[in-house]
Amino acid sequence: MKAKLITGGLLAATLVLGACAQSPDLGQPDPTPKPQVHTEDEWEITTPPGWTSSDATDATDAEKAVRYEAPNGDFFIVAIDPLGSDFIYDALWRYEIGDDRFTVVDRYECAGTDDESCSDDDERFDGYILWEQGSDPEVVGGHTWYFIFGNDGETSVDTDTITEIVESIRVL
């Protein structure tokens, strides 16, 4: 009788260990960081993992603005209903709108130019993304949109990441 209990116990232990070996992630969190989706009343935006958001209305010339920021200092601001201002930049991009989505269609970089609107001689990077040049801004979801991006402590940003963020925005 004792031999049967030991054999039965070994068989049960073998089955449990075998099941665990077949599911190594059983109860383990997924180690791959996922993009973050941030939602405001007017839009939804997806950023890389680790980005935070904060109100930036007081720091912009807009009715409403939210700043999304990465741990490395990269930032992206969604601003709606501009109040008007003059600005200088390291880059000026343009967007088109289709199906309530924004697509970057033109990129102007200041590096190597003597454009008076450029600020590429400071120790930071900032750029604007505006509607098509020479046209009135299109109203989408009841608002006029513009975007500000950059890095407060570096002189460049990952333009692919910024493009992905812009093109992730969904007007609600």
Residue 41 pLDDT > 70: yes
pLDDT for 120 equals 63
Say how far residue 164 (Cα) sits from the centre of its chain: 7
Provide the whole-model pTM.
Answer: 0.77
Whether 84 is in a domain gets the answer yes
Whether 64 is in a domain gets the answer yes
Average pLDDT over residues 4-9: 45
* Angle, alpha carbons 54-58-61 (nearest 5°): 115
Note whether 109 and 149 are within 8 A (CB): no
Say how far residue 44 (Cα) sits from the centre of its chain: 10
Average pLDDT over residues 118-136: 82
Place of tokens 């973050």: 36
The region, left, alpha or beta by phi > 0 then psi within -120 to 50, assigned to residue 20 is: alpha
Split into its structural domains, the chain has a count of: 1
Q: To the nearest whole number, what is the mean pLDDT of the chain? A: 83
Question: What letter represents residue 120's amino acid?
Answer: D
Q: Domain span at residue 53? A: 36-171
Which of 150, 171, 5, 133 has its CA nearest to residue 73?
150
Whether 2 is in a domain gets the answer no
Whether 145 is in a domain gets the answer yes
Whether 25 is in a domain gets the answer no
pLDDT digits (tens, 9 = 90+) for 50-93: 999 999 999 898 999 999 999 999 999 999 998 876 678 889 99
Whether 6 is in a domain gets the answer no
Note whether 48 and 37 are within 8 A (CB): no
Whether 28 is in a domain gets the answer no
Whether 3 is in a domain gets the answer no
Q: In terms of DSSP bridges, do strands 125-130 and 91-98 run parallel, antiparallel, or are they unpaired?
A: parallel
